[in-house]
Amino acid sequence: MSYVIIAGISFPIVEKPEAWYHFPLIPGLGENAKIIFFHVPTAWITVLAFLMSTIFSIKYLRKKDLDDDGKSQTALELGMVFCILATVTGAVWAKFTWGEYWSWDPRQTSIFALLLIYGALFALRSAVENEEKRATLSAVYSIIAFVTVPFFVFIMPRIMKGLHPGSADDTNAGPVVNFKMNSNMYLVFVLSVVAFTILYFWMWRVGSRSLNIKEKLLKNYR
């Protein structure tokens, strides 16, 4: 709030106030570009959630503490939600920029693979009754899946031809964000990424705590 007041007071004083609400769009994308504030953060959270789930899986395998498995599971559940959001926003953006909802661009393939991995993990978790066995097996599988993810997310989009910025045949040789964004747009973009990250961590904490409490209540009930 105080930032808003400061901004409001300083607005008439500074030299070129127009620059503050100057918001040019990325050339070639036009108004479509605004979805970047949702698409990129959700895709980032998808990978982040998967990374966290893997870290807690490794922790579980080392210490055999079922708490870590719960944290890993919460990260997985949130990751699935954000993965679907990233896929949908990406498909919508693709429709209006490339002309089709889905065209098997390498990055689309990779998000599809991530969706499949998340789905497979839930299928595996639901198949095993025993708690410890379920935790171990899903931890092992998520680590195996995690070592194949770099092939999708980092290597393949760069060596294969595709439509996304940063592909092998892309002459820009870098993501749009680095140089094509106006500073104001960049600020909104960074804020959006940070806000989504904070939102994710908040949801993750609430989720893992509620899972913990649920486990304790069930134990007492028995």
Partner 1 sequence: MKAYHLFRKDLFSEIRNRYAINSLAMFIIVTISVILFSVGEETISDYLSGGLYWVVVFFTGMSGLARVFVSEEERGTTLTLQLIARPETVLSGKLIFNLVLTLAMNIVITFLYSALFPAFVIKSLMLFFITFILGTLGIAISSTIIAAIISKAGSKGTLYPVLSFPILLPLILILINLTKISMDGTPFGEAIMDVLFLASYDVVMLSVSYLLFDFIWKD
Which pair of structure tokens corresponds to residue 93? 């953006």
Q: Is 206 exposed, middle or buried (CB count within 10 Å of its CB: 0-12, 13-18, 19+)?
A: exposed
Q: Is 79 helix (H, G, I), strand (E, B) or coil?
A: helix
Nearer to partner 1, 109 or 197 (CB): 109
Q: Judged by CB under 8 A, does residue 144 bind partner 1?
A: yes
Nearer to partner 1, 168 or 213 (CB): 168
Alpha-carbon distances of 55 from 45, 183, 205, rounded to whole Å: 15, 35, 15
Nearer to partner 1, 41 or 110 (CB): 110
Q: Using CB under 8 A, pick the residue from 80, 86, 117, 203 that binds partner 1.
A: 117
Nearer to partner 1, 85 or 156 (CB): 156
Part of the chain binding partner 1 (CB under 8 A), chosen from 30-38, 45-53, 151-159, 206-214 = 151-159
Task: Please tell me the distance from the alpha carbon of residue 196 to that of residue 182, in angstroms, as a whole number.
Answer: 21
User: Could you tell me the smallest distance in angstroms from the CB atom of residue 116 to partner 1?
Assistant: 4
Return the residue matching tokens 């134990």: 219
Q: Using CB under 8 A, pick the residue from 22, 133, 205, 209 that binds partner 1.
A: 133
Q: Which parts of 17-46 interact with partner 1 (CB under 8 A)?
A: none
DSSP output for 12-30: TTSS-THHHH--PPPTTTG
User: Could you tell me the smallest distance in angstroms from the CB atom of residue 196 to partner 1?
Assistant: 25
Q: Which parts of 53-112 interact with partner 1 (CB under 8 A)?
A: 61, 109
Q: In terms of Cα–Cα distance, which of 150, 146, 43, 165 is closest to 105?
A: 165
Q: Using CB under 8 A, pick the residue from 20, 102, 151, 202 that binds partner 1.
A: 151
Return the residue matching tokens 């195996």: 144
Nearer to partner 1, 121 or 181 (CB): 121
Beta strands in the chain (DSSP E): none
Alpha-carbon distances of 66 from 19, 118, 140, rounded to whole Å: 53, 20, 14
Using CB under 8 A, list all residues that contact partner 1.
Answer: 61, 109, 113, 116-117, 119-120, 123-124, 127-129, 133, 136-137, 139-141, 143-145, 147-148, 151-152, 155-156, 159-160
